[in-house]
Structure 1
Amino acid sequence: MRKTTVYDVAERAGVSTATVSFAFRRPDKVKPATRERVLKAARELDYVPSANARGLARGKTGALGLYSFDMMIERPQGSDLEDFTAEDIFEHPEVLVYPLYADEVQRGFELECWHRGQAVLLGTAVSKRDNGSITDIAGRVDGLALFPNRGTDDLPLPRLCRSIPVVRIGDADDELPAANVICDNEGGIGALVDHLVDVHGVTEMSFIGELTTYDMYRRFEAFRSRAAERGIGVGRPLLDDSVSSSKEWLVNLCEAVDVEGLPRALVCGNDQTALSVIDVLRDAGVRVPQDVIVTGFDGILAALIGSPTLTTVRQPMGAMGRLAAKLLDERGGVPWDEPCVHRLPVKVVLGQSCGCA
């Protein structure tokens, strides 16, 4: 099939090729109605603006892109913005905010690009339906890595995957022609549950986490499956699924504390949640790990230096970023024909929150 060109889009939208170019590169120069007409035509024709078509002598941009969606955290989970200012960050660096999962992946991506002589273009969406920014980035790089989550479902990923090589970090899709770099969520959660049962004799546990990402959802499913295999009671199906940025963060946990309905162990979907859970329990006079065991997943810096140190599952976040950059660089701008999955191993790291350190 012939690749759609700027001329096809211009003809469909009834504008000049220059207007099409401005619609993508300089939207401020185009009337909103005209730009929407151009973007509509581009969507209908599966068109992504190509850096090659912009007259680059090399035929390639020499850059790789990394795109995130709402992956940065401005303040600790559950805190009010007015109580956590930029001055606070300057005076007291907050490891509950940085570095986190996406930060470590990004560092690995940038390091690999540096070693390979590739420039890096970073981008993030400003709203849930911000399709223009990712399309613009895709048109300026030879390959694009991104963090899929439920906020990216509206993005034109099928169209992008047919235009440039795309790596999905932290998610596997068996339909999109892209590379998927994931960690062994199932193995990590399984090993964690086994440790709690075999070493600590836990017979009842619950999962805490917001299921807004595919990683978290897989961890929850793996938790339910492994607990069932081991004959462990899981209490309420999901102890808490509140949004971390809301003022109602961990409400279900607080209610369980009030009625003394806590299980022996709380398996959290990630380290950030686990550290917040420990704070809530401490404020309520519940001791960790004497009264309740708490575990996390990711292995971020804060988990290693907090008190108590966190029992968690460390995923190789830096290696995931480096692998994403390596895969994109080796494709040389050519999209994948079919999905491929690269699953990296994880490791249980024992800390004080389960009583092992």
Structure 2
Amino acid sequence: MTEGVCIIGGGLAGSEAAWQVAERGVEVWLYEMRPHKMTPAHQTDLLGELVCSNSLKSDQPDTASGLLKEELRRLRSLVIRIAEKARIPAGTALAVDRHQFAQLLTEAIAGHPRIHLVREEVHSLPPDRITIVATGPLTSAPLAAEITRITGRERLYFYDAISPIVEGSSIDFSKTFFASRYGKGEADYVNCPLSRQEYDRFVDALLGAEVVEWHDFEDARYFEGCLPIEEVARRGRDALAFGPFRPVGLRDPYGRRDIYAVVQLRREDMQGEAYNLVGCQTKMTYPEQRRVFRLIPGLEKAVFLRYGSLHRNTYLHAPAVLEKTLRCRQRPNLFFAGQITGVEGYIESVATGLLAGLNAVRLGQGKELLVPPPTTMLGGLLEYITT
């Protein structure tokens, strides 16, 4: 295998794939278009930037997410190792300081002697090179058109939303309490309790808030696991109270009995200088976000470091395009990894990047490609998206 592997996209999947290939003695050319061309969601040029939550979900091995992490640890995942270094308290979840995480990941990739980091946009895929496309749900238009040409399949899409982040020093902690749901782990979440009256006032403001309007050519297809909170509220007045704002499993140390709903804040860094509003994805306009979210007890004077927003996510019709090895059915030397394959979540993207990297090397060596058994988390994930 003399020509090496070409990897497009320096997110979680692309970075993991690049590391796995390079660690097996193969040269890697990793292409990342940022900072020369940014996406609607990214803010930096760092590899593996987390554009949504800073949580990588549960780390408990008796959960699906935790079990997948354990599989990745045993497979010597770089991203999991970096996440442990950038870890911040978040109960039983593996949450990270997003800047430290991306900085450490970038340094590891850029410092590897067999990884050549190329900062430029790719419009077409080399037909004679083993290539991994890990450009994520925000794949640029020219490359997306190239993928459609190669696969002969129209791409699918949905709209995904992200939550606001507020400055820690602007929170009135006298109106909140620290706790983790069901007492699992340390009391790492800031909880803003709402009475029924406060909840109703918040929902009224939310339902009446101005939102960023759809363009005429846009079809509102949301990802059900990450709905804007105004969309959740429209589905039922108490939908938030029984969903992301549910108070169950949280014990108020002050013994208040009128708590109807709770808004949780998760720290963004070890120092607690920034907090993410958990489950508060939104497409409200910026002025309306300030008005509505400041109705939450403790956030009356909140300073917003990042506003919530909405972006379009593109992905493949995996059953028609991908084998369980993540190899493209229409081009045998092409692999896909990450959210573009149709998986959802940071760790799921890392897992597909790891497997694509391993199989890219094996293809170049003339070896049989790996298909994890469906009794594993990774194997089950691939079984699900490709059938």
Q: So what's the TM-score if we normalise by structure 2? A: 0.24
Give the structure with higher Rg (CA): 1
Higher relative contact order (CA 8 A, sep 6+): 2
